[in-house]
Amino acid sequence: MSLEGDLRKEIEKWSARLEDEMKDIRILDEGRAYMLENIRAYMKDSSYFLTSNDLIRSFEALIWAWAWLSILKELKIVKS
């Protein structure tokens, strides 16, 4: 497989995992629920860039979404 094909496969795999993870997310701090919108926005951006065949930006947006989720979990704002 090509580098482009490998990257697309990874984006699709990790996007699906993030979608599954987000289904089980529970907000623990209602005052900060708006922070979940950042994750959803990055997920949407990643999807847009993927359909535009801009794989680098798609992957970057996906990494940001995962980072936000990890940070919110660590700060005990959300849990899965």
E strands, 1-80, in order:
26-27, 78-79
* Count of structural domains within the chain: 1
- Within-domain flag for 14: no
Q: What does the pLDDT read at residue 15? A: 98
- Within-domain flag for 16: no
- Within-domain flag for 76: yes
Say what percent of the chain tops pLDDT 90: 98
- Within-domain flag for 58: yes
- What does the alpha-carbon distance between residue 40 and residue 43 come to, in Å, rounded to a whole number? 5
Least-confidence region, from 17-21, 33-37, 43-47:
33-37
- Within-domain flag for 22: no
- Within-domain flag for 62: yes
Tens digits of residue pLDDT in 37-60: 999 999 999 999 999 999 999 999
User: pTM of the entire structure?
Assistant: 0.92
- Within-domain flag for 20: no
Print the domain residue range for 62: 40-80
Residue 1 — pLDDT band, cuts 50, 70, 90?
confident
